[in-house]
Structure 1
Amino acid sequence: MIILKIGGSILTNKDSSESEVDAGSLERIAREIKSSLDNSFKELIIVHGAGSFGHPPAKKYKIGEAFDKSEFPEKRIGFCETQNAVKKLNMHVCEAFIKEGLPVVAIPASSFMTATNKRITHGNLDSFKRYLDKGFIPVIYGDVVLDDELEICVISGDQLIQYLAVNLSPDEVILGTDVDGVYNKNPKTHDDAIFFDKFSSLEDLDTLEGTTNVDVTGGMVGKIKELLYLADLGIESKIINAEVENNIFKVLENEKVKGTIISRGN
């Protein structure tokens, strides 16, 4: 079993106020996944980010921040706008995958998960297991859910990865981002950025000045924290650049790809 995360920055222009899909990247990734599945059998779960679809409304309505009860009507609308936005992106993703012949089925987190203080505390994964058993590819994505303490909150794709991995024990976890892996600073704006081929400690986070966009879900540092938790359970992860052609195919086929391994091992 492989859990593959496709970052919102790959599928959309995350900094844009417009909700536009990067159709070229999406179609290419769909082809690479299909080629890998045609080449060798594997169970696959796909997680994708919210990108420019989900982040603007979540930020506008400050979803996940404490609020007065009098603000709840407006917060409800914000919840609905955010949920609807990420659902639209998921529709584009699933359409592209189905067109390529991939048997994907969307399973929104908001339909079966709840949280407490922004952390997932409940989510019955029986449907995931049943779809996998029947040869489907479950697709889940960053979403908004009910929260026992905050009423509503954002659940990132990276947190979904952790929850799924803890409960389903995959053989591999792969994150496709818009950079080659973890750097000590943003490699897009700093030529002297230092690349980490391996990351194994929370203490190492002190060496990071910020790598990619910091958004409502935590950016690269948030990803690393989620994956280090998995590393403590013996689940190794790899962060790669999904913008590089054939990287998704290669990593699914266990071929060598430049990236950062998140592991507690030596």
Structure 2
Amino acid sequence: MNKTVVLKLGGSVITEKQSAGVINHTRLQEIAETLASYRHLPLIIIHGAGSCGHPEAQRFAIQSGVTHENAVGVGETHRAVAGLNTAVVQVLRDAGLDAVGIHPFCGSYAENGRLISFETKHLDRMANLGIIPVLHGDVVMDTERGACIISGDQLVLNIAIGISAGRVGLATDVPGVLAKGNVIRKIHRSVIQEIDLGESGKTDVTGGMRGKVEELLSLADAGIPSSIFHIEKLGDFLAGDDHSGTDIVEI
């Protein structure tokens, strides 16, 4: 079985989502220190955009389609998320990890908002050599829309399935998927219609918690379990211990 761990760091974890372009460097350093303790694990990281990218995508209405009138927003949005990626990679490297930034904008293609061309095999090869690929939610060109936003959650799905990942984790600013304030410890497709997932109250053009769960259910359909947990439980997840969050599994 593939031992590679696919880890998504939520945008709200590494940025101040209410303050455009503000990176949470203190949290990033804490994350890097935790990851350094598990450097033996083959790891692929994807991070969300948070306040670096969502405001730009919204201002230029990227999700409504890109024409000559708003094409300038493609570059503006990519620069915002690429800048965050550079900061994340630098903090990881400062902690002694061999992290390398990879931009989905380069070499990916989508059709009506879904990736149709996205290579993953090189990512697994990197991880097994001790190199940590660090990807991020990004704007990519689209056959139907001109360009679109590809969320970090969609990247998680494509990468995990593409490499048959051993484990998938989403580190967030909440303890898991919540129902009436309580963590739902296990979700599978047969019960999803009974759960009110709500929507993100922040500037998020990729679907909030509902989008996360829908992507992870597709992973479960492929036989790959995943977990959503609070960032403070990152060490527990990496160790394979109880993270007190939500597991999304096959029936």
Q: TM-score normalised to the size of structure 1?
A: 0.88
What is the match of residue 43 of structure 2? 44
Q: 1:161 aligns with which of 156, 177, 183?
A: 156
CA contact (8 A) 1:205 1:221 kept: no
2:182 counterpart letter in structure 1: I
| Stretches (4+) displaced over 6 A | none
Tell me if 1:204 matches 2:192.
yes
CA RMSD of aligned residues (A): 1.5
What is the match of residue 64 of structure 1? 63
What is the match of residue 27 of structure 2? 25
What is the match of residue 246 of structure 2? 260
Distance (Å, rounded) in 2 between the aligned partners of 1:166 and 1:129: 11
CA contact (8 A) 1:57 1:82 kept: yes
C-alpha offsets along residues 170-222 of structure 1, whole Å, 9 cap, x if unaligned? Answer: 110000011000013xxxxxxx4232111112652453151644620000000
Residues 225-244 of structure 1 mapped to structure 2, 5 A cutoff: 225-242=214-231, 244=232
Residues 1-266 of structure 1 mapped to structure 2, 5 A cutoff: 1-16=4-19, 18-37=20-39, 41-66=40-65, 72-184=67-179, 192-201=180-189, 203-208=191-196, 210=198, 212-213=200-201, 215-242=204-231, 244=232, 247-265=233-251
Structure 1 gap segments, 5+ residues each:
185-191
Kindly, what percent of the aligned residue pairs are identical? 37
SS at match of 2:38: helix
CA contact (8 A) 2:16 2:24 kept: yes
SS at match of 2:241: coil
Structure 2 gap segments, 5+ residues each:
none
> In the superposition, relative to structure 1, how do residues 255 and 54 fare at CA in structure 2: closer, same or farther (>3 Å)?
same
